[in-house]
A and B are shown apart, each in its own frame.
Chain A
């Protein structure tokens, strides 16, 4: 009951502020578009990059082609729309895989501690010694271009962060009285972990991860731009921008709109993350309501 009330309060706070509400719309909109784009896209062959149309090259934005056409005569709008599906796939794939690797490592290291824990954390630290994207670049360069390789490369550079987060949380939770109580009651470790440790230690990490999806999209786009991401003709947003680079002087729309799509989506996630953090912090909540003009 306590938890639901908490979530309701947080949600209501998010909705009350116009900017947070907007961010919620953007994120939900992105998810909806990403899921339905393969079906609803206006020019499917263009979107999937299956055809090209020499007469329609470099057409500026018009009614039939709201974002114009690119160097191969393809409708940019359709490609961007389908690109959202790929971004969604990448975001979910990267974060999901990173959690899949990071959470077990973090939980085991945090709960059992000792030599195993130290070893696991040392390995994690080794990965963390790399600048954030660099590991992904090396991996992507080694594995070759492609959607799956991109997801794997990014996931491998992301998981240490989650492992560390989960490790710290697990450590804290491990020392909580209710865990001691469970141990005294004779619960086997596995049960303790699944019933007590995991829900309490993981919630902040999972929340953080969901909101990290925006950053995953941004990084994937960056990698695709410098040529170690997806393969053409995949309509991934970063790749679309690089495709428009050549012709940017006379056909600016090809590079402009995909980048704008990235910007809006990531802004949505970041604003939502901010709004969430503010609403979840009780001290900040008080001042938000003060500002919204609670009756005095």
Chain B
């Protein structure tokens, strides 16, 4: 892990056009990822975290509109890219998704898809070499019997195996940044741990940076070097995972931490944060968390707190911490 930024997101603002209005999904989001870092984007449904991931991958749906912002990846603004063909870019961003079974086309053998990705990105034309490379990566993700898997259809493989295959596919093109959108949410707990371990090992082996998107703060703490907490389309706190767990600042983060079941305490009650996320078509003028915050004041309702570095390498957007106005 170095201090060289590999990805800089600046003032990203994204809307979705829907049935009865415009959803302001992401508002003024800025952050950086350094080389070799694992940054976790944590938030509940509606926080905008997946949208951010899709934007960086340039895989936003049709009804998404990028209002503002830049995404600088290795010196290039991804949003301004004229080039339609991603494979011509040396520095690649790859993405893995939540549902491994839905991620692969059910009518094609896994090896077929794998070969196409390799062929297109690495510009190889020799079938044998392509296959070799694919098998090499299938081994790298610790899959037993890579030959058989290469020739299988997605429905013949389990969720865990499929996710490993997908990781193999995405890593085979030597990406500098891997975006993982809730890759373990649909797997059971033991598999979760295995996949997380795998990702860490591969990161070290291939010198990857990872943007890990999740709603689960525990997972984020486990795998992340740094955690960015999002709520309602905005960033509310950002710190190293150690610091965030030791010293959470934002009321939302504190609430999230309390929600984690305390299995070591007998008869502990399950806590939750009361209330629901606001209507994203009408985001509040002031703080995003104002409706559910136990410490909200009138200032919070009127004035939006800016994301400032309150402690060293610990940013927070909350009026409790000398959040300033314009």
Q: How far is the CA of A282 from the CA of B65 in the complex (A)?
A: 20
Q: How far is the CA of A290 from the CA of B17 in the complex (A)?
A: 7
Binary flags per residue of B1-22, CB closer than 8 Å to A gives 1, else 0: 0000000000000000111111
Q: Does B80 contact A (CB under 8 A)?
A: no
Q: Does B127 contact A (CB under 8 A)?
A: no
A-B pairs, top 9 by smallest CB distance, nearest first, are A286-B19, A286-B18, A285-B19, A290-B17, A289-B19, A290-B63, A286-B63, A294-B17, A296-B17
CB <8 Å contact, A287 and B63: yes
| Size of interface on B: residues with Cβ below 8 Å to A | 9
Contacts of A282 in B (CB 8 A): 19
Contacts of A287 in B (CB 8 A): 62-63
| Nearest residue, chain A, Cβ from B67 | A296
Between-chain CB contacts (< 8 Å), 7 pairs: A9-B19, A286-B18, A287-B62, A289-B19, A289-B20, A294-B17, A294-B21
| Nearest residue, chain A, Cβ from B21 | A294
Contacts of B63 in A (CB 8 A): 286-287, 290
Q: Which of chain A's residues 101-131 have a Cβ closer than 8 Å to chain B? A: none
Contacts of B62 in A (CB 8 A): 287
Q: How far is the CA of A280 from the CA of B18 in the complex (A)?
A: 14
Q: Which of chain B's residues 8-45 have a Cβ closer than 8 Å to chain A? A: 17-22
Contacts of A290 in B (CB 8 A): 17, 63
| Nearest residue, chain B, Cβ from A295 | B22
Q: Which of chain A's residues 236-291 have a Cβ closer than 8 Å to chain B? A: 282, 285-287, 289-290
Q: How far is the CA of A269 from the CA of B144 in the complex (A)?
A: 57
Q: How far is the CA of A289 from the CA of B63 in the complex (A)?
A: 11
Q: How far is the CA of A98 from the CA of B21 in the complex (A)?
A: 42
Q: Which of chain A's residues 219-235 have a Cβ closer than 8 Å to chain B? A: none
Q: How far is the CA of A289 from the CA of B16 in the complex (A)?
A: 12
Tell me how far the C-beta of B66 lies from the nearest C-beta in chain A, rounded to whole angstroms: 13
Of the candidates A9, A289, A296, which one forms a contact with B65 in the assembled complex, judged by CB atoms under 8 Å apart? A296
Most buried by B among A9, A285, A286: A286
Known: A286-B63, A287-B63, A290-B63. A296 touches B19 (CB 8 A): no
Contacts of B19 in A (CB 8 A): 9, 282, 285-286, 289
Contacts of B20 in A (CB 8 A): 289
Contacts of B21 in A (CB 8 A): 294
Q: How far is the CA of A282 from the CA of B18 in the complex (A)?
A: 9
CB <8 Å contact, A296 and B18: no
| Nearest residue, chain A, Cβ from B22 | A296
Instruction: Other than A290-B17, A294-B21, give 6 A-B pairs with Cβ distance below 8 A.
Output: A285-B19, A287-B63, A289-B17, A289-B19, A294-B17, A294-B22
